[in-house]
Amino acid sequence: MNFDVMIEALPDLIGGLWLTLGLVALALLAGFVIALPTALARLSRLALLRWIAWSYVFFFRGTPLLVQIFLIYYGLSQFEVIRESVLWPILREPFWCTLIALALNTGAYTGEVFRGGILSVPHNQIEAARAIGMSPATAFRRIIWPQTIRQALPAYGNEMILMVKASSLASTVTLMDITGVARTLAADTYMPIEIYTMAAMIYLVLTFVMSQLVQLLEWKMDTTRARA
């Protein structure tokens, strides 16, 4: 092991860390926004909504993320309509394409997590809320959602950590995230063991901090704590 190489690589790898963090944060945010309507549509009375949401979830959970990224980054350029549309400046950028793929991917997984959380709320609570005159929206906001998020938090925390790992695929479309920087450095220095070990350590710290944050959040939301 050449420790000098490892230390020297650190500033470059930290440079890649910002792109990784940016991708993960934006993807999680967008994924969250996609997941809630997806979960509600999966539980809808309307068969069409259920079918659309089911197809979306089935496709994005049943295919590799790499295919999804390539489909958006390389695939969309096949259509002249898209190449000539106003969206093309966005859709030809690897950053936005990766972000869209990551967001749609985590949106599908998170949608299922939320659906499970919603289903865990006892039905008589909802009936009671309606009986005392709450509108469906108020009942959702005050009764269903707080319990859903508490129930779903452990699984959602897992999904957040999986997103950190998934963001490494950004390097396959030339982005310089931690993995992208590491691959370039490893090729330049011929010292893959040192470089990849260092990069792996950064990921370990990142996933560890993330899991601690989720645990803290779980602890804060735990309503049974005060009673004990």
Q: With helix as H, strand as E and coil as C, how does the chain read? A: CCHHHHHHHHHHHHHHHHHHHHHHHHHHHHHHHHHHHHHHHHCCCCHHHHHHHHHHHHHHHHCCHHHHHHHHHCHHHHCHHHHCCCCHHHHCCHHHHHHHHHHHHHHHHHHHHHHHHHHCCCHHHHHHHHHCCCCHHHHHHHHHHHHHHHHHHHHHHHHHHHHHHHHHHHHHHCCCCHHHHHHHHHHHHCCHHHHHHHHHHHHHHHHHHHHHHHHHHHHHHCCCCCCC
Examine residue 80 and tell whether it contacts another protein (CB under 8 A): no
Examine residue 65 and tell whether it contacts another protein (CB under 8 A): yes
Examine residue 184 and tell whether it contacts another protein (CB under 8 A): no
Closer CB to another protein, 66 or 128, in the complex: 66
Examine residue 15 and tell whether it contacts another protein (CB under 8 A): no
Closer CB to another protein, 33 or 71, in the complex: 71
- Binding residue for another protein (CB under 8 A) from 32, 96, 140, 196? 196
Closer CB to another protein, 63 or 135, in the complex: 63
List CB contacts of 37: < 8 A, sequence separation 6 or more: none
Q: Kindly report the number of other CB atoms within 10 A of residue 116's CB atom.
A: 14
Q: How far is the CB of 123 from another protein (least distance, A)?
A: 20
Q: How far is the CB of 183 from another protein (least distance, A)?
A: 7
Q: How far is the CB of 111 from another protein (least distance, A)?
A: 17
What is the identity of the amino acid at 14? I
- Binding residue for another protein (CB under 8 A) from 152, 153, 164, 176? 164
Closer CB to another protein, 44 or 158, in the complex: 158
Site map 30..59 versus another protein, x via CB under 8 A = ----------------------------xx
Examine residue 22 and tell whether it contacts another protein (CB under 8 A): no
List CB contacts of 138: < 8 A, sequence separation 6 or more: 129
Q: How far is the CB of 99 from another protein (least distance, A)?
A: 17
- Please identify, among the stretches 29-37, 87-95, 131-139, 162-170, the one whose residues bind another protein according to the rule CB under 8 A: 162-170
Please provide the distance, in angstroms rounded to a whole number, between the alpha carbons at the two ends of the chain.
51
- Chain residues that interact with another protein, rule: CB under 8 A: 58-59, 62-68, 70-71, 74-79, 161, 164-169, 171-172, 179, 182-183, 186, 192-193, 196-197, 199-200, 203-204, 207-208
